[in-house]
Chains A and B, each alone.
Chain A
Amino acid sequence: MRIIESLLITLLACLPSFAQMNLEGEWAGRYHEDQADRVPGDVQGDFTGVPMNDAARRYAESFDVRRVTLLEHQCQPYSLPHIFRGPMQFRIWSEKDPATQEVVAYKQFLGTYQQFRTIWMDGRPHPPEYAPHTFMGFSTGQWNGDVLTVTTTHIKKEFYRRSGAPSSDLSTVVEHYIRHGNLLSHVMIVNDPVYLSEPYVNSEEFVFMDRGNQNWLYNCEYVNEVPGPKNEVPHFLPGKNPFLKEWSNKFGLPLEAVWGGAETTYPEYMTKLDNSSRTPLNVRKDAPRPPARPAATPDGEIKTFHVQGNVYMLVGAGANVAVQIGDEGIVVVDTGAAPMREKVLTAIRQLSNKEIRWIVNTHADPDHTGGNETMSHAGRTVNGNPAAIIANEHTLAHMSQAGRPATEWPLNTFFEDVRDFHFNGEAIFLHHVPKGHTDGDVFVYFRGSDVLVAGDLFMTTTYPVIDTKNGGGVQGFIDSLNKMLDIAVPGYLQEGGTYVIPGHGRVGDEADIVEYRDMIAIIRDRIQDMIKRGMTLEQVKAAQPSLDYDGRYGDSSAFVEAIYRDLSSKK
């Protein structure tokens, strides 16, 4: 008997995990909850049930639907936390290891915006924080009995609702897939440290499509349909959105109640709602909280990330370092902070043993140029000199004025708008943009690899630093991002294509650049309006003109002050 038991136990242990609930097939949404929001689309002013915070309210209040007419926004799909809330059918299938028949991944094709997803089931880790984000994010799954649980990170910024309730790129989503016969329930719980004060939970039902459906394709071609100023960013100034009350008025609900918030999702709120005609509802005020910026890169370690083509990003050197490698040698864009220079060099050497031929400085800051001497002397031009350091002439001036050693100076300078050369089989463009972060900024475009290196003209970790003392300015900053947008070409539906290495933070693409540009333009317009109304700098700061972005980019006081002084000087 013991032998039989042992055999049985052995047999059980050898069973592959194919006894899971089968989710494969084609599923069509049913819209018996929030149909008006999910199918025809809600109007501005409906944020009911969303546990959004004050920052999200400010963002939503400012949102002008004309913004989606901008070329860069037209073909933007819904992100993961949003797409299951729209009209949708989707297909699920599995990919199995041929040797073990274990499920390696579940694949999804979502008919809305033709989105593909992979849900990895093989235990792989999520990408590092400096990897690009996508609209569907990066997903891993795990079965809990008959429930498939999926965790997704690396999601792009978008919306929870079309009405302008924003989602951030720091959101994470946990999904649960539950099947009962031909009914599939999909639960989605979103954590968003920037725009939500509590997790946002939703669930939707899908029914199995026995006969399938042909409505799977989504064609989007962006076109300029409405003539208007190029690079205009439509938005409403705080308190000026004329459409906000339409929804609450239509359904006879108090304005404060339809503005969302975690409090409004609990039963106790019904009492306030019932009494609201007699007692004004308190305007909510979130408790101050620290910004939810991405964690800093690991101290003391240089991480290498292959961006695309010949171009790599080195992370952890203070500022990001870009490295292009090929048969002709190595190009290094920015060299990191001085304390990290040897480790940066080691990381470069691990990529290629070719000579470092060229070094480009995007600007003069020490965290971008601290390794200049080390990299230069480790490299060699074709005539045997240390590798040449290229920069705009203003950058050389700033470094020399700052008393930096001459051995660190970029002596190969230029003053024209753009310099180009061909190296490692691709054209490389150095675009000078006056009055951005400083007056000497350069961003680099590797045309063959299709990678932009932005320097501090684009960062995913902080607000722009407008160094007015060294010639920086807000309009120049925006112009530089617009120039990058002119160069960048996204992949299908605003994702990938041209990648952008920021001065600090994670790899981005055109969708990230445009969000950064929009943010600066919106805050600039608000401050401009406040200046017109005669407000002092202190009053402007107290009015929190960057409230909707502070949770993402942190302390805005220097940014606000720089814009204020820049715009005030032009009155």
Chain B
Amino acid sequence: MTLLSALIFFLAAQRGQPPVPRTAQAAAPVDLTGYWVSVVSEDWRHRMATPRKGDYESLPLSAEGRRAADAWGLEKDNAAGLQCKAFGIGGIMRQPGRLHIAWQDDNTLKVDFDAGTQTRLLSFDKSKQPPSDKTWQGFSVAEWEGPNIGGLGGLGRGARGAEPDNSRQIEPGGGGRGLRGGPAPPGSINQGGSLKVVTTRFREGYLRKNGVPYSEDTSITEYFHRLPKHPNGDEWLLVVTVIEDPKHLTQPFYTSSQFKLEPNGSKWSPRPCQTAPPPK
């Protein structure tokens, strides 16, 4: 494959067409834009409702993590103006709500959340410097991943100057069509690529509404996948989140959250950071 890459580069150079750096939007192997609604089929009790204090089921908490979780108080947070601690980078994907993903510019994806009225900027510009102030959503650096990234498929499409043809979509799975092991058809909305996002410079917050903490030393990596179209026409976005917090967790904490594409933003419903009190 290295030989092939060299050959392609050689051919391009011979034609007097040195590879032109493409924008992140032009290089996107998958279209993540649109309005997406979270479908809460997992951790329902911890996501739809506010669990009671000390309910940290499923979480690999350290003793310090448990101590901090046990010290949580909703009224205390509200009084201190810290209502958004449960809507920060470590917990926002688990909040029931909607995402609106759009390109802010050629190299920045903007992700708005109606839960807590939060915004994240995912920058593909690696030269960009992080801000000095920490925020709830932090500073996110994004890059595309996948079989066509920087390889044959990406160059081939980009060199021809073709825009992704989002009208053609793949149906998943079998059915006797003989599509064994092949890559997604060129021009597919989903060529198997994904978005990797690493976030730093965020304020400490909550993994869950009931004060289960993550610290500012946490490492947060996310993978955004638009899945092949479901046979019933549904379009799904999967966000895999890996959280490593040396202070509050004993091992990497893995979650994957599902979102379904909506036709438009008619159900977009921004609301402030607000956590319902847990049951008595």
- Chain B interface: which size bin? 35 or more
Q: When the two chains form the complex, which single residue of A5, A30, A270 contacts B254, counting CB atoms closer than 8 Å?
A: A30
Residue pair A267, B98 in contact (C-beta under 8 Å): yes
Say what secondary structure dominates the interface of chain B.
loop
A150→B173 contact, CB < 8 A? yes
Listed residue (A4, A125, A205) with the most chain B CB atoms within 10 angstroms of its CB: A205
Q: Please determine whether B40 and A266 come into contact, CB atoms closer than 8 angstroms.
A: yes
Known: A147-B192, A266-B40, A274-B276. A35 touches B58 (CB 8 A): yes
Interchain pairs with CB closer than 8 A, number: 240
Contacts known (A17-B180, A203-B258); A187 close to B42, Cβ less than 8 A: no
The answer to whether A19 touches B1 (Cβ under 8 A) is yes
Is A273 on the interface with B (CB-CB < 8 A)? yes
Do residues B182 and A17 form an inter-chain contact, with CB atoms below 8 A? yes
A178 to B55, CA, bound (A): 30
Cross-chain contact of A265 among B7, B15, B40, B230 (Cβ < 8 A):
B40
State the Cβ distance, A371 to closest chain B Cβ, in Å. 33
Given A174-B173, A187-B227, A252-B280: A145 and B146 interface contact (C-beta under 8 Å): yes
Indicate if the CB atoms of B41 and A17 lie closer than 8 Å: no
Interface stretch, picked from B65-73, B79-87, B233-241, is B233-241
Interface flag for B158 (CB, 8 Å): no
Chain B residues contacting A446 (CB-CB under 8 Å) are none
In-complex Cβ contact of B238 among A120, A191, A203 (8 A): A203
Known contacts A49-B42, A203-B42: A145-B147 contact under CB 8 Å: yes
Q: Assess A124 versus B115: contact at CB under 8 Å? Given A33-B58, A178-B238.
A: no
A142 to B256, CA, bound (A): 22
B273 in the interface (beta carbon within 8 A): no
Contact with B along A2-34 (1 / 0, CB 8 A): 001100100110000111110000000011111
| Interface presence of B198 (CB below 8 A) | no
State whether A269 touches B172 (Cβ < 8 A).
Answer: no
Q: Is the CB of B190 within 8 A of A145?
A: yes
Closest approach, in angstroms, between the C-beta of A406 and any C-beta of chain B? Answer: 48
**Which residues of A does B touch, CB under 8 Å?**
1, 4-5, 8, 11-12, 17-21, 30-36, 48-51, 102-104, 120-126, 139-147, 149-151, 174, 176, 178, 180, 183, 185, 187, 189, 191, 199-205, 251-253, 257, 264-270, 273-274
Q: Which residues of B contact A (CB under 8 A)?
A: 1, 4, 7-8, 11, 14-15, 29, 37-45, 48-49, 51-52, 55, 57-60, 96-98, 114-115, 145-148, 152, 170, 172-184, 188, 190-194, 196, 223, 225, 227-228, 230-232, 234, 236, 238, 240, 242, 253-256, 258, 267, 269, 276, 278-280
- 24 A-B pairs with C-beta separation under 8 A: A20-B147, A30-B254, A32-B58, A32-B59, A48-B48, A49-B40, A49-B41, A49-B42, A126-B174, A145-B29, A145-B190, A151-B172, A151-B231, A178-B225, A185-B225, A187-B238, A201-B236, A202-B41, A203-B258, A205-B254, A251-B51, A253-B279, A270-B96, A273-B276
